[in-house]
Amino acid sequence: MTYSIFAIDANALSLSGCSAYTYTLNGFLPYLRAPWYQFSEQAVDDVTLNGGTNPAFPFLTGHGGANQVVPFGFLGIRTDQPTLYLNPSLPPQIPYVKVRTFHYAGATLSATLNITHTNITRFASTNLNDLYQNTTLPFVLGTPGSATSNTTSYHIAINQTLTISNRVYFQKKTHPNNLLQCLPVTSEDPYSAGQFPVAAIDGATSTSWQPSTNESSSLLINTTSIPPSPIWSIYFNWGFRPPLRATVFFGNESTDEGQIYGNEWEVDIKDISPSLPFYLTQPNANTTQYNATQASGATEAVVPVVGNETRLVVEGGAWSGNYVRLVVEGCWENDGHGATIGEFVVVGG
C-alpha cells in the first residue's frame, strides 16, 4: 500500500534512476502469500519479529495500492484538473505493459506502453454518460501546474489511437558516467524483506539492498548491454549499516551461481569505516559500538539524508567486462543482520 504510492511518486518526481521499479516490487512481492497470491498486511508475519503486529489477511488495501501503480504511476493519470492529464514513463526493467480500460468524464480509454512511447485509444462508451460523446476528448501530456512549455495538448476522437512520447528520465545518470545504473542484477543470497538487489544500482539512495545476514553475500550485474570502458573510480553509499569488507570483481564469464571466472580484475576494499562516526558507549565497559540509529542523525529537522560513503580511485588500467560482481561481508552494527548498500557506482571513462 505505502510502497505503491512511493512508486507512483518516484515515477512522477525522480530526475534520474529507476527507483520507481524498486518501489513497485516493494509494494507487492514482500506481501504476497501462497497459494492464491493474496496480500498480508505485513512484510514479515511473525509477531515476534515485526514489532508485535498481527497482520490483517487478506489485506485488500494492499491489493488496491498495487493496482494503482500502472495507471497512476506508469501512465501518469491525474484527474484532479478540469482536463485529463497523462505523463507516461515505464521503468527500463519493464519492456511493455497494457493498462486496463479506464474512464474519464464518461469517455472510455485504454493504453499500451513500451519504453519510449504510449498508444492511447478511445472507444465508444457503453452505459455511460460520455460528456464528449459528440466531440473529441481533450487531454494534456505533462504534469498539472507545470509551465505550458512543458506540456502538450491533444484531442482524441472515438475509435482513434494517438501515440505520445514517454519520459525516459531513467537514462540520466544520478552519478555521471555510472556504468551500472538500472542494469540487470541478480543475487543467489537471501535478502531482507523488500531489500532487493536492484536497489543497489537504481540510482537512488532512498532504497537499498540488504542481505539477510552479515555473512558473505554477493550480487551480479550484467553489463553485456554496454560497451567495455576503463574504470576510473568506485563509489558506495552504504546507508546507515556499512559492511566491514567489500570486494568488486570485473570479468567476462559467469557461472549460474553468480561467480565470475576466467580473467578477472579484483578490487579489495578492506577495513571499511563509517563516514558518519556516531558511537554508543556500552554501559560499564570501556568499549564503543557503532550505532545506526545515532548515525542516521535522528532529529526533528527536515534535512537531506546522508549515508555512510566510501570512494576510491581504481588504478592499474582496469576495464569493465560483461559482468561486475560485488561481495560484502560483516556489518558495523554487529547485530547479525546484513549491511545495507544504498548505491553501488562504477565510474567509467
Q: Which residue has the cell 558507549?
A: 281
**Which is more confidently placed, 286 or 128?**
128
Look at residue 121 and tell me whether its pLDDT is greater than 80: yes
Q: How confident is the model at residue 298 (pLDDT cuts 50, 70, 90)?
A: low
Q: Where in the chain is the domain with CATH 2.60.420?
A: 75-170
Question: Quick count: other Cβ atoms within 10 Å of Cβ 229?
Answer: 17
Residue 54 C-alpha cell reads as: 498481527
**CATH 1.10.3470, domain 75-170, yes or no:** no
Helix (H, G, I), strand (E, B) or coil at 277: coil
- The residue type of 285 is A
Peptide bond into 35 cis (omega under 30): yes
* Greatest Cα-to-Cα distance within the chain, rounded to the nearest angstrom: 81
Question: Which numeric CATH code is attached to 173-348?
Answer: 2.60.120.260
Name which of 208, 193, 196, 214 is nearest 339 in CA terms: 214
**What average pLDDT does range 77-93 have in this prediction?**
96
**Which is more confidently placed, 235 or 301?**
235
Q: Which of 72-76, 81-85, 284-288, 322-326 is least confident?
A: 284-288
What does the DSSP assignment read for 137-203? EEEEES-TTS-GGG-EEEEE-TT-EEEEEPP-GGGS-SSTTBS-TT--EE-SS-B-TT--GGGGGSS
Q: Which of 69-83, 140-154, 271-285 is least confident?
A: 271-285
Look at residue 288 and tell me whether its pLDDT is greater than 60: no
**Which is more confidently placed, 257 or 124?**
124
pLDDT at 149: 76
Rama region for 194: left / alpha / beta (φ>0; ψ in -120 to 50; rest): left
Q: Which one-letter DSSP state was computed for residue 228? A: -
Average pLDDT, the chain: 92
Look at residue 284 and tell me whether its pLDDT is greater than 80: no
pLDDT digits (tens, 9 = 90+) for 147-173: 877 899 999 999 999 999 999 999 999
pTM of the model: 0.91
Look at residue 324 and tell me whether its pLDDT is greater than 60: yes
Q: Where in the chain is the domain with CATH 2.60.120.260?
A: 173-348
DSSP E strands, 44-131: 84-86, 96-104, 107-114, 117-123
Tell me the C-alpha distance between 28 and 61, whole Å: 11
Q: How confident is the model at residue 255 (pLDDT cuts 50, 70, 90)?
A: confident
Name which of 141, 137, 138 is nearest 128 in CA terms: 137
Q: Are the CB atoms for 290 and 278 separated by under 8 Å?
A: yes
Share of the chain above pLDDT 70, in %: 92
Residue 330: exposed, middle, or buried by beta-carbon count in 10 A (0-12, 13-18, 19+)? middle
Helix (H) and strand (E) counts in the chain: 4, 19
Q: Are the CB atoms for 289 and 334 separated by under 8 Å?
A: yes
Look at residue 282 and tell me whether its pLDDT is greater than 60: no
Rama region for 105: left / alpha / beta (φ>0; ψ in -120 to 50; rest): left
